[in-house]
Amino acid sequence: MAIVVVGGHTRNIGKTSVVAGLISALPELRWTAIKITQFGHGVCSANGEPCDCETADHTIAVSEERDRSSGTDSSRYLAAGAKKSFWVRTRQGQLAEAMPRIRQLIASAEEGGGTVIVESNSVLRFLQPDLSLSVLDPSVTDFKDSAKRYLDRVDALVVPEGAEFVDGWEGVSGKLLASKRRFAFRAPKYCTPELAAYVAEELARCSAPAAASGR
């Protein structure tokens, strides 16, 4: 069993499209997909709607997606071919409290012989994935702190075709960006054959020692 993490430096830059693309391109990996959302003050983690609640029972919400056509990111995972899809919501800064539930989902996928793919930056604080990707677009100035914090843990970047990191972002090392393997996409096709082949090769390489040891 392997774990892939897909993050990105801001919203609406193609993270979910990359996840869905990998699921569709590599169905033999029997994906369990997990979307992690952290909400700030004034937004309910139970359903994503605006609210004033700050009660303990809204700290964590985990739901399994069963509708391939609901329009949510987790439904896109199912539509792409994921065996199971989950949406995990926590209040900002409280992901640690959700990790036991997330680890249960991972363990269940492992028992079924599947591969886990997680859309999140902050989960890298708690997991050591077999492969980590980050979607970056230099035309967008916003750069999440969580993406900066774990950028050194990223194995490869997924970027728009023709993207150039000339000036970079404040607080982000240009040298670090240059050291990362890079895969270019042209929307709406975010997962290229080259990216899918890279992921398959890396996961096969990671699983080889486990197979040899009889895991």
The tens digit of pLDDT for each residue in 112-165 reads 999 999 999 999 999 999 999 999 999 999 999 999 999 999 999 999 999 888
Alpha-carbon gap, residue 146 to 9, rounded angstroms: 8
Strand, helix or coil at 10?
A: coil
Look up residue 136 and give its two tokens.
């970056």
Of 26-30, 68-72, 73-77, which gets the smallest average pLDDT?
Answer: 68-72
As a whole number, mean pLDDT of residues 102-110 equals 96
Of 33, 8, 35, 20, residue with least CA distance to 190: 20
Q: Is 97 within a domain? A: yes
Structural domains in the chain (count): 1
pTM above 0.85, yes or no: yes
Q: Is 24 within a domain? A: yes
Q: Is 185 within a domain? A: yes
Q: Is 133 within a domain? A: yes
Sign of the dihedral defined by the CA atoms of residues 197, 203, 205, 207, in that order: negative
Q: Is 152 within a domain? A: yes
| Structure-derived torsion over alpha carbons of residues 151, 154, 160, 161, reported in degrees to the nearest 10 | 130
Q: Is 25 within a domain? A: yes
As a whole number, mean pLDDT of residues 46-55 equals 53
Domain that holds residue 40: 3-203
Alpha-carbon gap, residue 61 to 88, rounded angstroms: 6
Place of tokens 């604080």: 125
Question: DSSP state, 62?
Answer: E
Look up residue 189 and give its two tokens.
């096709």
Alpha-carbon gap, residue 57 to 45, rounded angstroms: 10
Q: Is 209 within a domain? A: no
Q: Is 21 within a domain? A: yes
Give the Å distances, CA to CA, from 69 to 75, 77, 212: 6, 10, 41
Residues 6+ positions from 59 with CB-CB distance below 8 Å: 45, 90, 91, 94, 97
Instruction: Name the maximum alpha-carbon separation found in the chain.
Output: 53
- The CATH number of the domain holding residue 41 is 3.40.50
